[in-house]
């Protein structure tokens, strides 16, 4: 794979290049007391999680996909200039709540003393207080002033879900304002990779992370060269969607002229649109029926360019009809997670049965544990690659969550 930049004009074009993060020491820095703060429901066993993630990566490689690791790209980006590395560290520490002073200086010197790859790994892992002997004399020296926190810099255990800090769209990317502080440093890393890595430095950025409104990549789906679907969710606001739509409609480098805003329940079980809905073929989608009300209705808003600076908004309440209209399809196949069974469907949705990664039209990767959904997908003609899932699934994300496409063939 030699192409520079981004090309993602669908959810289903053959996946040629993808961004992953291999789980590291950050996972072992989760404790029962910090699980909630770090957005985890359980603590994965790192050794097995790494084995499962390597199996996932190999599955993609066997299908002809180039696998890139964000930690390696970050290392290469920071190595382009000592000034770039220093600027990044300053911003990281400021965003962590530190002011100039003994703690700020000690942490900065600690990172600078490492080779760049070790520095990047340590940023993901977090810095425990016992690693540094810092005598703090001012409260202003402290980040958050939390005496019971074991860390000067918190770990980033969600980082193996590379879908969320950014989202590839067309030839560009959004670099996202993450909802929770536990994840916000991840998109700072993306910002520096996009700005300084030679492979990506000319990539258009549709929306950067320097906003007050939130958006995350699990809510951003590229349905075709003209249409994106974005979830109105726990982690993506309607204001972000409207602002992004305006940028996509106005930017001459963008081909997108339609945005489907899909309103889903705002809760931890259904945190992103891709946890309840994914595109797997030209006219086939997975869906969790629990996103619709008893009458089968769901709010879908189709945003299109209007007159002048206005955006036209059409409101529909039927997902199937909205997709058919937006994608100009006469028929489509909505495949229900867990076959729609009231017990099986929510169980398999919790284990990411709806969170599939298409690697080609009608060919997906998904967790092996969701066997009811898998058998149903096969009956609908889908080729399924099953990946291991006992530990990775504890983080609440599946194959799509763990991957950020960089390049897809056109369809």
Over the stretch 274-283, which tens digit does the pLDDT of each residue have? 999 999 999 9
Q: What is the mean pLDDT of residues 253-257?
A: 97
pLDDT at 1: 44
By percentage, how much of the chain surpasses pLDDT 70?
A: 96
**Does residue 138 carry a pLDDT above 60?**
no
pLDDT at 133: 84
* 3 state SS for the chain: CCCCCCEECCCCCCEEEEEECCCCHHHHHCCCCCCCCCCCCCCCCHHHHHHHHHHHHHHHHHCCCEEEEHHHHHHHHHCCCHHHHHHHHHHHHHHCCCCCCHHHHHHHHHHHCCCHHHHHHHHHHCEEHHHCCCCCCCHHHCCCCCCCCCEEECCCHHHHCCCCCEEEEECEEEECCCCCCCCHHHHHHHHHHHHHCCCCCCCCEEECCCCCCCCCHHHEEEEECCEEEEEECCCCCHHHHHHHHHHHHHCCCCCCCEEEEEECCCCCCCCCHHHCEEEEECCEEEECHHHCCCCCCCCEEEEEECCCCCEEEEEECCHHHHHHHHHCCCCCEEEEHHHHCCCHHHHHHHCCCCCCEEEECCEEEEECCCHHHHHHHHHCCCEEEEECCCCHHHHCCCCCCCCEEEEECCC
Model confidence over 349-370: pLDDT tens digits? 999 999 999 999 999 999 999 9
Mind telling me the catalytic residues?
401
**Does residue 127 carry a pLDDT above 80?**
yes
pLDDT at 137: 52
pLDDT at 141: 52
pLDDT at 384: 98
Q: Is the pTM for the entire model greater than 0.75?
A: yes
Q: What is the mean pLDDT of residues 374-378?
A: 98
By percentage, how much of the chain surpasses pLDDT 90?
A: 91
**Does residue 379 carry a pLDDT above 90?**
yes
Q: What is the mean pLDDT of residues 338-349?
A: 95
**Does residue 98 carry a pLDDT above 80?**
yes
**Does residue 260 carry a pLDDT above 60?**
yes
**Does residue 340 carry a pLDDT above 60?**
yes
pLDDT band at 144 (very low <50, low <70, confident <90, very high): very low
pLDDT at 140: 46
């Amino acid at each position: 794979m030699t192409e520079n930049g981004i090309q993602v004009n669908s959810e289903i074009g053959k996946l040629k290049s993808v961004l992953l993060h291999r789980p590291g020491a950050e996972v072992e820095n989760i404790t029962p007391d910090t699980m909630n703060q770090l957005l985890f429901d359980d603590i994965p066993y790192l050794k097995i999680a790494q084995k499962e993630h390597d199996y996932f990566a190999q599955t993609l490689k066997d299908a002809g996909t180039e696998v890139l690791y964000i930690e390696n790209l970050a290392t290469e980006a920071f190595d382009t200039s000592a000034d770039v590395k220093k600027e990044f560290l300053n911003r990281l520490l400021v965003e962590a709540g530190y002011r100039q002073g003994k703690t700020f200086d000690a942490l900065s010197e600690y990172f600078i003393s490492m080779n760049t790859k070790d520095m990047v790994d340590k940023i993901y892992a977090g810095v425990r207080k016992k690693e540094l002997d810092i005598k703090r004399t001012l409260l202003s020296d402290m980040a958050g002033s939390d005496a019971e926190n074991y860390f000067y810099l918190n770990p980033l255990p969600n980082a193996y879900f590379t879908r969320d800090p950014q989202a590839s769209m067309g030839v560009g990317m959004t670099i996202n304002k993450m909802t929770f502080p536990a994840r916000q440093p991840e998109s700072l890393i993306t910002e520096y990779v996009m700005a300084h890595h030679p492979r990506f430095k000319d990539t258009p950025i549709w929306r950067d992370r320097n906003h007050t409104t939130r958006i995350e990549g699990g809510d951003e789906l590229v349905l075709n060269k003209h249409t994106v679907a974005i979830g109105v969710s726990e982690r993506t606001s309607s204001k972000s969607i409207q602002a992004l739509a305006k940028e996509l409609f106005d930017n001459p480098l963008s081909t997108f002229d339609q945005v489907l805003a899909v309103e889903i329940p705002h809760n931890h079980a259904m945190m992103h649109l891709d946890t309840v809905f994914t595109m797997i073929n030209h006219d086939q989608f997975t869906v969790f029926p629990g996103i619709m009300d008893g009458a089968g209705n769901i709010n879908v808003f189709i945003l299109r360019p209007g007159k002048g600076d206005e955006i036209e908004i059409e409101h529909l309440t039927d997902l199937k009809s909205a997709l058919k209209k937006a994608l100009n399809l006469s028929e489509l196949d909505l495949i229900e997670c867990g076959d729609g069974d009231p017990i099986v469907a929510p169980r398999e949705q919790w284990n990411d049965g709806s969170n599939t990664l298409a690697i080609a039209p009608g060919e997906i990767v998904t967790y092996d544990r969701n066997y009811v959904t898998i058998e149903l997908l096969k009956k609908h003609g889908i080729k399924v690659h099953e990946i291991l899932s006992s530990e990775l699934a504890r983080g609440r994300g599946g194959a799509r969550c763990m991957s950020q496409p960089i390049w897809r063939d056109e369809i």
